[in-house]
Amino acid sequence: MARWKRRRGAYLVKYRSITDGELLHLLTGDAANVITDFDRTIYTSLLRVKSTTQKSLLWVVGFTALGTLSHFNVLKGANAAGLELAPAIFSHVALVAASLAGAWFCFNYTKQTFLQVWFAWKLKVGTSAFKARCLLTFPEAYWHFAYLPGAIGYPPFYMARQSLWPQLMYLLLVIVALAIGGVGSLTLWVVLARDALANSQINHTVSILTVAFCAAVTLLGWLSPFRYDFPRRYSHMGLVRLLGMREGERNAAAHRRLIRIADRVGLVEWPPNQTAERRKKQSFRFR
């Protein structure tokens, strides 16, 4: 458990780094090294949300393939509910469908990461035995990297030969695949938007409105608050809040007592030429 720290010269406020997963546990008051019924309830919700996320991702892949075929003029026509669809609208349909499916995926992925950080923090602060129990009890709550032997740990007095090169190579391939997928998706979206704007068979105003709508939907999806197990800095304002509840002379008296205590424990730095009597007077004038 990380400890609170005090910034030099500001002893009223404490700060430390907290992950989203730990913040959820602090909000709910859940224990760190215990698997409870509440964890199993959250896991059930995670499985349901994860299934929806996977479906939305399949829709994204499907409409991306439709956009690719539309760009290379592979589709010559289609029949929907007895209606013949002209190839001229394929670029517009693919762009709108891919944007909506991408936003749907981002919205579901927001829920998934919100639930996953709960289990990520339990795994992070647990012992090796507790990590193994978490991975066995909630297998779908963790990414592939959590199952590496070095991440789980070993029993006492056991040691295995380890090689970082396969793990680093695997991580590098995953990063490359994600980068290519992200750049490729963005490039395809731009190409489809350009095809829609260049389509002379559909009113140009309609094309502009279509591209603007798809851009807004895509940006809305990208701005979704994804949560990962990365720490952020939080400040603890408890003492400041208590002092703020006092008014007038009670507030001044509380600050005088506080600065006396801080001076005794060495939290206040006075100039070298400051006399003890002058320090005492300044402490009474402190607000």
Residue bearing tokens 């009890």: 137
Domain boundaries, the chain: 16-155+165-233, 238-285
Please, is 74 exposed, middle or buried when counting C-beta atoms within 10 Å of its C-beta (0-12, 13-18, 19+)? exposed
Interval 224-230 mean pLDDT: 87
pLDDT band at 283 (very low <50, low <70, confident <90, very high): very low
**Contact predicate 224/106, CB 8 Å:** yes
pLDDT in tens, 239-263: 666 666 666 777 777 767 776 766 6
Q: What integer pLDDT is reported at residue 212 of this predicted model?
A: 95
Please, is 124 exposed, middle or buried when counting C-beta atoms within 10 Å of its C-beta (0-12, 13-18, 19+)? middle
Structure tokens at 128: 């090796």
Q: What is the DSSP letter of 4?
A: P
Number of residues that make up the chain: 287
Q: Is the pLDDT of residue 115 over 80?
A: yes
pLDDT in tens, 152-174: 888 888 877 766 777 778 888 98
Distance separating alpha carbons of residues 183 and 189, to the nearest angstrom: 10
- 255 in helix, strand or coil? helix
Dihedral sign (CA 19, 21, 27, 33)? negative
Total-model pTM: 0.75
